[in-house]
Structure 1
Amino acid sequence: QVEDVPEFSMTAVLLHHNVTGSEHLHLARDDKNNVFNVSLRTTPMNSTGVAHVLEHVALCGSDRFPVRDPFFKMLDRSMSTFMNAMTGSDYTMYPFSTQNQTDFRNLMSVYLDSVFFPRIKKLDFLQEGWRLEHEKKDDKFSPIVFKGVVFNEMKGVMADPSYLYGTTLLSKLLPDHTYGVCSGGDPAHIPNLTWEDLKQFHASHYHPSNARFITYGDMKLDEHLGIINDKVMKKFTIIDPGTAVPLQPKWDQPRSHTMHCAPNEMAANPDKQTTYSKSYLLHEVSDIFETFSASVISTLLIDGPTSPFYRNLIESGIGSDYSPMTGYHNYQKEATFSVGLQGISDGDVTKVDQLIQDTFMEAAKNGFSKERIEAILHRVELQYKHQSSRFGLGLTFSLMPVWQHGTDPVDSLKMEEIVNKFRQKLDSDDKFLQKKCEEYFVNNKHHLNLTMTPDPGYKVSLEKSEEEQLQSMLGKLSEKDKSQVYEEGLELSNVQQQEEDISCLPTLHVDDIPRKQQNYGLIVQRIKNDLPLITCGQPTNGVSYFNAVLPVNGLNEDLKMFLPLFCDVFTQMGTHLTDYASFSQREDLFTGGLSASVTSSCCHNDPMTSETSVRLSSHCLERNLEQMFQLWAELFNEVNLNDATRLQTLIRQRAQNLANGVAFSGHMFAMASAAMNLAPSAGYSEKFGGLTQVNLMKKVADSNDIDDVIMKLNQIASYMLRINKRDVPRFALHATPSALSSTMTSLEKFVDNIKTARCKLLTPFMTSQMNLLRNTKQLTASKMKLISDPELNGIILKMTLHQLPLPVNFASMCIPTYAPYSHTDNPTLRILGRLMTTKFLHKHIRYRNGRAYGGG
């Protein structure tokens, strides 16, 4: 099947393999970032994590490439722009992308052999899955403990209440088949997985009859097919993998479930940590039009301040933010929709439930305004025209899961056809959306009421259960078994320390790498008031992009702490001319959104000099340029930061999101904390995005009096939203060459429209490192000590401990090098960092230690 897809400027070719029944989708497009992705439907029926462990073990060497972790070792032999593998609830995919054609062929050969012909050695299973091993592997009298990469990874993942909630939600809403288990693996069940189970799972699931392939980019299809046929297809015949997922039997009554999690000590209000949601089972995802209709309705219901659920739930003040998994999900056999609140009191569950029911009834009765619908359809148009550097990769990620369940991947790409059909439905039936709301929600008995409450003893209970499980297993071991544990630990350690011959792996050579750098045609120029501007004309598919950098170095230090909050609320508060809901609707009608962020960067030639700046960005269709810049001008001239009720809503959301991120990104917080006193930019980065910011927002969200915050935000605005000779703003525009002229004209009008407001006197910026350190406030909960390590020749080390209620730990060490971007040692250090990770730390921390998921 061969069809043009003009929406994405590409041709889709869908092929069926006669011998194995496999399918291949090729997306031919003028894009040098070529993508390969092979996906297998993996349907585990228990929570041992068999699919997840297999994903890891498949990457521990194959028939043609018998080396440990060939993917990781290819990082040093490749110019890939992406390499990974991932396990979903009912699929496992192995994607990569690269701009080098020789590299593409190299990586495809390694990927195909790893997926279809892995060695699956027992020692690899013990390393990647789980094992019993002495705490000190060479001391048989030290305690025996659980070790293993996936075991430790999932302990970390399960420490995130959002993941725990999402996994439980899916398992309780679709309990009767593969979705009723945890595909990633529950640490309580992973030790039940055997090596034999793993080999059997591979034999039944990792077969071309159960596989789908996608290739994307400007390379030729026949070459891809030749390699796949030679390396894989000709070695297999058709089988029935038996992996089809049956439909979930529908309930005749709603069900309820209550679960527990650890208390979140980073949350603003310790008495409001309950989460509640209602989740609905909808239609099969193979129905493309139904999927599109449901996704639009979901967006209308929950997205932005004009949506009914935002008004009735978020702005009620009952909770801090939407519950995890809120929204429409179509990555399984049947789609689901969920909505609820987190950060609520136990006693408010009934109230939230009633609000949800009332909101569905309201939507089924009144529907949605035409302007709101148009805004959402405009967003859809902009989404498929906006194409990032990883456009092809993202396309395979969205197609693969639903393709597994009968969706026609080519038809699902025809967005204009789908949108036109949707418009026709609206024109022919003015109650179309109301009827769908009734069908999906009001009359749908198959829905789950899920409550999650904090349990102070949760962490201790997990540790106790793990210890009891360990002791139970140890109690069943004979002396011979214990001796085998010791011997296997030594054997695995010996194998891990052996130097491998990796010459079997393909590699790029200097001659394979083009020596000519691609020129993107950047033009540096000046516009109104001698302001610097960079323009770039590129085939952007009719989308124009605007970016601005507003330096704020002269801002008072106390105010700088509130820059992240200012950036978060700046585009969401509305103006003195337009309330925030109407302003948000205009954003959706004419742009892909207006955003602001704060960053601190060190000077290219001096690491002790930094620039703190606010960065603005937006994009729009060429026809909407005037409206986009009108929105920015209105924000600059008339932003309203005085609405205390609106501001408190946004503060609660921000505080909740930051608190939720600590468990998921603990390594990033540890790195920021370790680096914060070594350079000004690192100090500001921690203040803006580290635990200091988490604690600040916790304090702000916990206060009922935000007059001081409003004053600070207005002071920031009065300083930032004007043009002066000291902190000169910089602009960048990217558009199609034919639209650059009109884009520049719109920008010049915007600059003319900005009022140059006078700001109040602010304390001058203190540039020295000593003043930076003096202004740095440590967390009250932190314990600090200075030690002198003789092995480091007396260097004083600053040690910081942040005590968090997590079952996993994150550690970081940061060493000053003071080699800025233009220093001759900078590229050497960048390469050294890569080699330290791939050649040393990864091997020692992830493999030999056995107690950590990774390091670098």
Structure 2
Amino acid sequence: MKKLTIFLWLAFIAIITGCSPKENFKTGQMYHGFTLIEKKFVNEVNAECLLFKHEKSGAQLLKIAADDPNKLFNIAFKTAPDNDCGTPHIMEHSVLNGSKNFPVKSPFDVLSKGSLNTFLNAMTGSDVTTYPVASMNDKDYFNLMHVYLDAVLNPLIYKDPKILQQEGWHHELDNPEGDIVYKGVVYNEMKGVFSNPRRELSYQINKILFPDNCYGASSGGHPAAIPQLTYEEFINFHKKFYHPGNSYILLYGNADLDKELQFINAKYLSNYTISPEKIEIPLQKPFDRMKEAEKTYAVQEGSPTENQTFLSLSFVAGQSTDRTLTMAFDVLSDALVNHETAPIRLALQEAGIGRDVSAYLSEAKQNTFQITVQNANPEDKDRFKEIVFSTMKKVAEEGFDKKMVEGILNRMEFNLKEGDSSQKGIMYFSMTYQPWFFANNPFLGLEFSKPLAEVKETLKTNLLESIITKHLVNNTHSLLMVLKPEPGLQAKIEDATIAELKEYKKSLSDTEKQQLIKQTKELIEYQKTEDSPEAVATIPMLELTDIKNDIEWFGMEEKLIDDTKILHHNVFTNNIVYSNLFFDVRTLPEDLIPYARLLSYITGMMNTENYTYGELDNALNIHTGGFHTPLKTFLQEHEDENILPMFTFSAKATNEKVEKMFELTGEIINNTKLNDIARLKELITRHQAGVDADIKNNGIRYAMYRLQSYYSTNGMYSEKTRGLSYYRFITDLSDNFESKSEEIVANLKKTAALLFTRENLISAVTCDQKDLERYTASISDFVASLPSSKLKHNNWNFTFAKKNEGMKTASKVQYVIKGYNYKKLGYEYSGKMKVLDQILSRDWLQNQVRVIGGAYGGFCGIASSGNIYFASYRDPNLKETLENYNNTPGFLEGFNADNKEMTRFIIGTISRMDRPRTASEEGDLAIQYYFEKTSAEELKAERSAVLTTTAQDIKDMKKMIEDVLNQDAICVYGNEDKVAENADLFGELITL
């Protein structure tokens, strides 16, 4: 009764303060051109939801009137490509390059420099292109809405072909004797994307499964096809798909709905009439029998090919509008494959096929369920298929382990109801757009309780088993795919591209070559030209008076219980307790540092005294909402040398499950059987496969850690626990497990014994005050179960050396990193460096590396610890990018921003500091402040420094940047030929 009373009181407050439009809007009535079609309170989002149709233009609009200050505007279009040119993706980039009312080269960049946005982006999917923006400031929110609506409906692409050339692709020729090359932001982005073999696998699968509709085309664009896109086709795509009648607008948060509708209608939608074009995506006709295919992906010449093949079975399985089926497949992906004791995982493990297996559902008008084994061999194909099908048939006949399914369902329900996202508007769009597009009912996606209840009935019925039979075992609309490595394939692709461009050049007359040179120079000049002050002034912006001077402070209350330090962040968490147990890694000698990472991976996945690993997985799913053991690092007083590395047990549970959460944690810490050789081998083999895949997909991270290991304590620790050094470490253990198994077990035991003692524990909890007593009572028994040992911290004597390495890979692009630690050069941190970071990233490097250079991104990072880096992402260049970095002091010397421009930069900096946060995120920040010894006064001083930064302050930091760059510390991860061509830049070349 008490909870009901509180709920009714809150609802009353919301109504009288205008947060809820419950009484103000009537179904069937028109408001500013919008007719209210349906209105209901949706319990799952705790908000009144109103669905409108704009009568004149045909646009649909959904308002989720949540009492959340982080307001979201999103406009999405159903986009259905019919080729691999990547037109939806290039259009997504291009419309954000100037519009009728905001005629600057990139309103997106101007906004990112100087808006209080909490989210600013655009995304392309297989059947959708969407443009979300969010802000906690009302004025800023409407400014963002204005710019984004103008961008998608009135882009400058119709007047300026250079936008397509820059964002999509173009031929570039500098002089008559030079070589023609392809350039373009999306072109290079997708070269980077397709460097990941998993992306190649997905591309090949979809192409075969969906030969007749948009799901068989690459909406992002395939590098080989992007240069086939013509300007005419590009423009016609916008005319067809970007009419408001094909738009789906989502509004989320506590903004005034009447004002939102009035603005959208008056400024934009009232100017349109309904288009006769109806965008439909036809269903792919099913196959008569399963198809089989074999394709290849690129690895370096001379690379080993054994155990490097992907095997995949894919099934076109139902439609996204069937929410029960879609949710059931999410359960099936875990129950059949992903769970530690899932039957397909165990069967493939026993057969020795591959090193890891995973399954997931790709949700679309026609869903695809995919089971993929990595690190297998082509000759395993038939056995893989036979084992998967025989296992599925057996499960369909005999049924699932109900305890396993119960755990999976519990974890799913916990995560759905928790909704632990600070960007709830984005989250709700992802839940609504498929049923909105294809069932004309966004509520189907929000109201998850009904399909969840139906899926939960599977504990009493054979729902999952019947789905296996119908949609998998007896489904002929399916594909068996083999994707195997081909050494030297990337070189062949590059050679073919070069030959194609040479032939193209031969086909040009001298006049046409001169015209291409002229076009190249004009584009570069266009890219270098700054927007006029008058054009920039059209972009609405806030004033410094719109920014609050106060900081948000999240503190910890410190308690001592049974000699154990308990940190408590008190905040309403809706009966969820977020627990973090920290064990200081400095208790380990240097040689055991990588074992901390290995231990963090296997923890919770081994047999224990009282649980098999499968039973443990089930128990964790049933009794917690999440259980992870990451390594976290803090820098005390923001000094690189004062590293505080922690092995963390991070778990969340409802308040009534706290005792069980600690019981399971104690079981894992005290009773794990680290000497279970067979299980250990399985996990190390799988872990190595995951790290191997990661190093191929996240080159920028590995280059970053490697660079910082040259001069930084934190960088060296990161290198040993998640960088190239760790990759080599885990690969050595995997390759030589038989001879090293005893050593591995001994080192894991030693690592655990040194870490997990009561003296080495600090606990931090984020929960409501009323739940704290339960937490402290539970942790007392847990602490008592831990062994006691005298605490000793090691001083790691890392040896630093500038190696300047070039990592040669099969990547189609580069990640170019340069940096150093400015504190080692005698400089101190100031909050004004945050503004410098904003200016260099959003203005200088964005323009030089991305816009002109054609990389997907160029940016820098300046940390209070002293570490600073310059980085490029998916970059076609190498030496040229380093030259751009080295030209930064010259840019700063000539930096002459006026007060208005500086205000824009300052506001953009503040937007990166002021973010919406969930309760758990507040707790994480409070933990960081505590361990790093950050005070509220320090944050206030930093904010004041940001707000008072002048153009002269930025110019004055030129010398610091110059000194950092003069250290000439670089690391590059990139294409083997490109790195080899620039060998003189490196101290050492590494082949990955």
- TM-score (ref. length: structure 1): 0.91
Q: Could you say which residue in structure 2 is the equivalent of 1:299? A: 334
1:635 aligns with 2:668: yes
Match of 1:506 among 534, 540, 560: 540
AA at the equivalent of 1:801: G
Deviations, residues 448-504 of structure 1 (Å, cap 9, x unaligned) = 011101111311221122112212322332222211111111111211222213121
Contact (CA 8 Å) 2:578, 2:651: kept in 1 or not? Answer: yes
Q: Does 1:538 align with 2:564?
A: no
| Inter-partner Cα distance in structure 2 for 1:389 and 1:823 | 36
Partner residue of 1:812 out of 809, 817, 821: 817
User: Which of 459, 473, 476 is equivalent to 2:490?
Assistant: 459
Who is 1:334 aligned against?
Answer: 366
Aligned to 2:695: 662
Alpha-carbon separation, structure 2, partners of 1:765 and 1:127: 53
CA distance in 2: counterparts of 1:838 and 1:694, whole angstroms: 33
Q: Contact 1:607–1:818 at 8 Å: present in 2 too?
A: no
1:348 to 371, 374, 380: 380
1:711 paired to 2:711: no
- 1:279 pairs with one of 314, 327, 334: 314
Residues of 2 paired with 1:303 and 1:849: CA distance? 42
Identify which of 655, 668, 689 aligns with 1:622.
Answer: 655
1:590/1:556 Cα in 2 relative to 1: closer, same or farther (>3 Å)? same
Label 1:758 to 1:444 Cα distance change in 2 as closer, same or farther (>3 A): farther
- Partners of 2:851 and 2:556 lie apart in 1 by 49
For residues 586 and 15 of structure 1, the distance between their equivalents in structure 2, rounded to whole angstroms, comes to 45
Query: Which of 292, 297, 301 does residue 261 from structure 1 map onto?
Result: 297
2:61 pairs with 1:24: yes
Deviations 1:144-173 (A, max 9, x none): 211111111111111110111112112211
In the alignment, which residue of structure 2 is the partner of 1:288? 323
Indicate the structure with greater helix content: 2
Q: 1:782 aligns to what?
A: none
1:237 alignment partner in structure 2: 273
2:75 counterpart residue number? 38
Q: Is contact 1:320-1:343 (8 Å) kept?
A: yes
Amino acid at match of 2:700: H
The alpha carbon displacement at 1:812 in A equals: 0.6
Query: Gapped runs of 5+ residues in structure 2?
Result: 1-37, 861-992
Contact 1:264–1:270 (Cα < 8 Å) also in 2: no
Rounded Cα–Cα distance in structure 2 between residues aligned with 1:459 and 1:84: 31
> SS of the residue aligned with 2:287?
coil
Aligned to 1:843: 847
Q: How does 1:302-451 map to 2 (within 5 A)?
A: 302-314=337-349, 316-322=351-357, 326-330=359-363, 332-386=364-418, 387-406=420-439, 408-424=441-457, 427=460, 430-451=461-482
Q: Which amino acid aligns with 2:407?
A: A
CA contact (8 A) 2:71 2:134 kept: yes
Residue in 2 aligned with 1:562? 595
Q: 1:833 to 1:516 in 2, by over 3 A?
A: closer
Conserved 8 A contact 1:629-1:750: yes
Cα shift readout 1:518-570 (whole Å, capped 9, x = no counterpart): 455x4412232443322233332332111122112131111002221110111
Q: Give the deviation of 1:300 after TM superposition.
A: 1.7
| CA deviation profile, 1:322-350 (whole Å, cap 9, x unmatched) | 26xx31121x2111111131111222111
Instruction: Compute the displacement of 1:35 (Å).
Output: 1.8
What pairs up with 1:38-187 in 2 under 5 angstroms?
Answer: 38-120=75-157, 121-134=160-173, 137=174, 139-187=175-223
Q: 2:788 aligns with which of 756, 768, 771?
A: 756
Residue by residue over 1:7-32, the C-alpha shift from the partner in whole angstroms, topping out at 9 and shown as x without a partner, is 33222222222222221121122222
Task: Report the AA paired with residue 128 of structure 2.
Answer: Y
Mark the runs of 5 or more structure 1 residues left unpaired by the alignment.
Answer: 777-796
Instruction: Tell me the SS of whatever aligns to 1:35.
Output: strand
1:773 aligned partner: 799
Q: Cα–Cα, structure 1 residues 376 and 506, in superposed 2: closer, same or farther, change >3 Å?
A: same
Letter in 1 for 2:208: K
**Residue 637 of structure 1, CA deviation:** 1.5
Contact 1:629 1:747 in 2 (8 A): yes
Residue 4, structure 1, aligned to residue 64, structure 2: no
CA contact (8 A) 2:78 2:279 kept: yes
More off after superposition, 711-720 vs 408-417:
408-417
3-state DSSP of counterpart to 1:561: helix
Deviation string 1:208-256 (CA, Å, 9 cap, x unpaired) is 1111011212222222222221222111111143421111101111111
Kindly state the Cα deviation for residue 304 of structure 1 after the two structures are TM-superposed: 1.4
Q: How far 1:824 sits from its partner (Å)? A: 5.9
Where 1:262 maps in the other structure, the secondary structure is strand
CA distance 1:170–1:88, change in 2 (3 Å): same
Paired AA for residue 773 in structure 1: T
Q: CA shift at 1:112, angstroms?
A: 0.9
- In 2, Cα distance between the equivalents of 1:47 and 1:22? 28
**1:114-145: CA deviations, max 9, x gaps?**
111110121111111111112xx4x4433221
Which segment drifts farther, 185-194 or 465-474? 465-474
Letter in 1 for 2:713: P
What amino acid does structure 1 have at the position aligned with 2:795? Answer: M
Aligned residues with identical type, % of pairs: 28
Match of 1:517 in 2: 551
> Residue type of the partner of 2:336?
L
Deviation at 1:815, TM superposition (A): 2.1
CA 1:352–1:264 in structure 2 vs 1: closer, same or farther (change >3 Å)?
Answer: farther
Output the TM-score relative to the length of structure 2.
Answer: 0.79
CA RMSD of aligned residues (A): 2.3
Aligned length: 815
Q: Say whether the 8 Å CA contact 1:523–1:534 is kept in structure 2.
A: yes
Deviation (angstroms), 1:385: 2.4
Partner of 1:785: none
Equivalent position amino acid for 1:165 in 2: L
Give 1:604's aligned residue. 637
Partner of 1:475: 506
Partner deviation per Cα, 1:175-217 (whole Å, 9 max, x = no partner): 2111121111111111111111111111111111111011212
> Conserved in 2, the CA contact under 8 Å of 1:671 and 1:812?
yes
Cα contact 2:305–2:485 (8 A) shared by 1: no
CA deviation vs aligned residue, 1:37-74 (integer Å, no higher than 9, x gap): 21111111111111111111111101111111211221
Residues 205 and 481, structure 2, Cα contact 8 Å, conserved in 1: yes
1:833 maps to 2:837: yes
**Contact 2:586-2:795 within 8 A present in 1 as well:** no
SS in structure 1 of the partner of residue 640 of structure 2: strand
Deviation of 1:757 (Å): 6.0
Residue 525 of structure 2: SS of its match in structure 1? helix
Q: 1:245 to 1:52 in 2, by over 3 A?
A: same
Question: Following TM superposition, by how much is the alpha carbon of 1:378 offset from its aligned partner in structure 2, in angstroms?
Answer: 1.1
* Cα deviations by residue, 1:331-370 (Å, 9 ceiling, x for unpaired): x211111113111122211111111111110121111133
Do the aligned partners of 1:686 and 1:692 also contact (CA within 8 Å) in 2?
A: yes
- Sort the Cα spacing of 1:266 and 1:85 in 2 relative to 1 into closer, same or farther, 3 A: farther
Question: Is contact 2:758-2:783 (8 Å) kept?
Answer: no
Encode CA deviations 1:410-443: one digit per residue, 9 max, x unaligned. 132222222233345764xx33332221111111
Partner of 2:581: 548
Deviations 1:790-820 (CA, angstroms, capped at 9, x unpaired):
xxxxxxx652222222222221101221289
SS of the aligned residue for 2:821 comes to coil
1:264/1:224 Cα in 2 relative to 1: closer, same or farther (>3 Å)? Answer: farther
> In structure 1, how many angstroms separate the alpha carbons of the residues matched to 2:347 and 2:453?
31
Which segment is superposed worse, 597-606 or 274-283?
597-606
Q: Does 1:191 align with 2:230?
A: no
The CA distance in 2 between the partners of 1:409 and 1:819, in whole Å, is 55
Q: CA deviation at 1:270?
A: 4.2
Query: What is aligned with 2:969?
Result: none
| CA gap 1:94/1:605 in 2 versus in 1, 3 angstroms | closer
Deviates most, 705-714 or 534-543: 534-543
